[in-house]
Copies of this chain bind each other. A is one copy, B any other.
């Protein structure tokens, strides 16, 4: 090592300059949900030391996905095709349409239920204060689909939050205007949930919505 008071020529300082790519990669990994500084560091070291091919593959899939995945022309879920796999599948009954907030809700319903109808993916909830109105959720497209006829039931599977309920209400009115029957999925105590751990609002709601057994 040269003593600290020697000025190094630039050809040397550029070769020995501190690494910036590694901290930049660690920082970039923190854009992933649930990834803090420690996990980001562990991920970066893991890829660089153990599996660069997987890192290269992930980088190229991610770049391609960000550029090529758009929204389905019919249901608005994420897909790189014009129509998603569900809309393009002639075995799905498109006269049943389930309205959800996002693509992850489609995945959850597909994994948990036997539902074999179609979807409409809002991409959010009505939230006037955040500038999210009917246009942002492409509700015009849903309205066209309802007005075109052929939908025998519109199923609302939207979170029972304040904004979600307002969104459900808005869509229910839209469907009523063209005489399409609307249902919403049941709200209540989760299966396996202990009553004492369920929040008061849910419990009150479940109590009012009690059914004969």
- A residues with a Cβ closer than 8 A to B are 1-4, 15-22, 24-25, 28-29, 31-34, 39, 41-49, 51-52, 54-69, 78-85, 87-92, 94, 102-104, 107, 123
Contacts and interface: CB of A to CB of B under 8 A. Distances in A.
For this chain, the copies found in one complex come to 2
The A contact surface, by secondary structure, is helix
Contacts of A67: 56
Given A15-B83, A19-B79, A123 B49 contact: yes
B69 A22 contact: yes
B43 A58 contact: no
Contacts of A79: 19, 22
A12 to B, nearest CB: 9
Please name the 10 residue pairs, one residue from A and one from B, whose CB atoms are nearest each other, closest first: A18-B85, A31-B54, A16-B88, A19-B79, A59-B62, A59-B63, A16-B83, A28-B61, A25-B65, A4-B90
